[in-house]
């Protein structure tokens, strides 16, 4: 009987996959997390290793860089937006195939709810603290020590001192570090590894592919020169357990969805595409800049991106404008997010204060506003159901019709982003995370 009971207990235990894993976090934004993460991924890829990289939070740009660096798909992990079970599933799946899992944090280590530290603690991944030490020495050790001692449920692998000026600079920092926080590496200052940026963050990888390749390989050399070539041997394995996830219903079986995807529209979660396909949708892609013909479709998705950088070319593509206008008038479903929302308005004024005509299927005008903007996690309370989302934009809309609802901010009582509806067009600044409510997403693309 004892043997039978033991067999039953083993059968009930979740499946486990073990893999070396490291969480790259920092005291604040701008410390070099993405540069170091991408350089590590490229360095290990050059060694023939399979590196699966994850990005904390709702980020579109960093994952593009990290995908090119690693050659592997990059998933976003956020326990509020996606849920713990989703994050657990993605880590488990990666652990079955990877030689190393890297997770890049967002903002400062303890910023946000949930924070990077919350994610690292939940899945037991040790943290490598990336810190820009330019202009300080022992103080860098003091700041790092404070971070290590702030909570007792996170573990640290060590410190990566970025922008370290000299061997003497390194020694001053290392001598001041506590025993439980080793110096993993000190990285020399280098302009050859910096990643190109613009007003919303990093430049899209597809725009600078060749330059990015050079910088990624420079970054790999940079880390090897700093003594990190054997990093994999120093990273402990972590056990990741399979989570119980509900089966995805085929609510979009046979539904044809055309998706805008080009230089202007590229803020697309792979998880969203994957979910649409799992629900049975047939996906096609088109370019509001370059395509003259809209694909045969039952629904359109106009995601976010950089329409302000390509507004003139979009305005000149009259055949596409007319076809989308006709599509909308026919009453078919359209989802427009952020940049897609701006495209739906009557006009868009770019960063040079040049105004261009847009689709005009929504009343109102969009305009860029320099460095001021809005960002944060919100829930979209749609008639179809609540979908978790985030906002990140540096533009404004004016003279719009009354919204049907406003986003509900994660941690603030003020109304969030306005949500508009015209026929079966749903438009907002919000970027929706489809797996947070598949049934509601299906109703958006296939209204009753």
What is the pLDDT at residue 402? 97
The two three-digit tokens of residue 117, written as one number: 């530290």
Report yes or no: 153 and 123 within 8 Å, Cβ to Cβ: no
Q: Is the pLDDT of residue 234 over 50?
A: yes
16-241 CATH: 3.40.50.300
Which of 3.55.50.30, 3.30.70.120, 3.30.420.40, 3.40.50.880 is the CATH number of 256-445?
3.40.50.880
- 101-105, 213-217, 380-384, range with the lowest pLDDT: 213-217
User: Interior CA angle at 293 toward 280 and 359, to 5°?
Assistant: 95
Q: Tell me which DSSP letter residue 399 carries.
A: S
Query: Rounded to an integer, what distance in angstroms lies between the CA atom of residue 363 and that of residue 346?
Result: 6
In tens, the pLDDT along 373-430 reads: 577 899 999 999 999 999 988 899 999 999 999 999 988 889 999 999 999 999 999 9
Q: Which residues are catalytic?
A: 338
Supply the pLDDT for residue 61: 84
pLDDT in tens, 296-306: 999 999 999 99
* Whole-angstrom distance, CA of residue 319 vs CA of residue 305: 21
Is the pTM above the cut of 0.75?
Answer: yes
Confidence at residue 273, expressed as pLDDT on a 0 to 100 scale? 97
**Would you tell me the crossing angle of helices 84-95 and 116-123 to the nearest 10 degrees?**
60
The pLDDT, as a whole number, for residue 203 is 55
Percent of the chain residues past pLDDT 70, beyond the cut: 93
Domains 16-241 and 256-445 share a fold: yes
The pLDDT value recorded for residue 157 is 97
The DSSP code sequence of 102-171 is: EEE--SSTT-TTTTHHHHHHHHTPPEEEEEE-TT-SHHHHHHHHHHHHH-SS--EEEEEEEEE--HHHHH
pLDDT at 186 over 70: yes
pLDDT for res 372: 59
Q: Where are the domains of the chain?
A: 16-241, 256-445
**pLDDT, mean over the chain:** 91
Q: For residue 259, what are its two tokens?
A: 């998706």
Distance CA 405, CA 425 (A): 14
């Amino acid at each position: 009987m004892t043997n039978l009971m033991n067999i039953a207990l083993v059968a009930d235990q979740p499946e486990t996959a073990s893999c070396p894993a490291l969480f790259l976090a920092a005291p604040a934004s701008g410390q070099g997390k993405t540069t170091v993460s991408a350089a590590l991924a490229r360095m290990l890829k050059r060694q023939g290793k399979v590196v699966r990289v994850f990005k904390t939070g709702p980020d579109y740009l960093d994952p593009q860089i990290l995908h090119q660096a690693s050659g592997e798909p990059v998933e976003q992990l956020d326990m509020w937006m996606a849920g713990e079970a989703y994050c657990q599933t993605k880590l488990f799946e990666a652990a079955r195939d990877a030689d190393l899992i890297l997770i890049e944090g967002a903002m400062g280590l303890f910023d946000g709810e949930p924070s990077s530290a919350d994610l690292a603690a939940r899945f037991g991944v040790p943290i490598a603290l990336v810190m820009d030490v330019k202009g300080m020495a022992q103080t860098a050790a003091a700041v790092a020590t404070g971070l290590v001692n702030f909570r007792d449920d996170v573990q640290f692998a060590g410190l990566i001192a970025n922008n370290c000026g000299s061997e003497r600079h390194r020694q001053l920092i290392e001598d001041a570090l506590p025993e439980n926080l080793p110096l993993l590496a000190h990285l020399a200052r280098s302009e050859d590894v910096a990643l190109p940026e613009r007003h919303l963050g990093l430049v899209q990888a597809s725009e600078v592919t060749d330059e990015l390749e050079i910088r990624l390989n420079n970054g790999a050399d940079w880390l090897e020169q700093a003594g990190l070539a054997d990093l994999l041997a120093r990273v402990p394995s972590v056990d990741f357990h399979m989570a119980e996830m509900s089966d995805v219903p085929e609510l979009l079986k046979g539904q044809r969805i055309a998706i805008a995807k080009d230089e202007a529209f590229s803020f697309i979660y792979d998880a969203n595409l994957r979910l649409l396909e799992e629900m049975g949708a047939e996906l096609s892609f088109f370019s509001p800049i370059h395509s003259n013909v809209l694909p045969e479709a039952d629904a359109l998705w106009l995601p976010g991106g950089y329409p302000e950088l390509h507004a003139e070319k979009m305005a000149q593509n009259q055949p596409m404008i007319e076809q989308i206008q006709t599509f909308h008038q026919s009453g078919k479903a359209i989802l427009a997010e952020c940049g897609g929302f701006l495209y739906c308005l009557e006009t868009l004024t770019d960063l040079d204060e040049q105004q261009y005509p847009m689709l005009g299927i929504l009343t109102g005008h969009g305009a860029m506003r320099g460095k001021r903007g809005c960002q944060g996690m919100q829930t979209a309370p749609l008639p179809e159901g609540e979908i978790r989302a985030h906002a990140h934009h540096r533009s404004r809309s004016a003279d719009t019709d009354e919204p049907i609802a406003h986003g509900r901010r994660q941690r603030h009582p003020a109304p969030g982003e306005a949500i508009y509806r015209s026929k079966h067009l749903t438009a907002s600044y919000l970027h929706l995370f489809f797996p947070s409510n598949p049934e509601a997403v299906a109703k958006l693309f296939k209204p009753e």
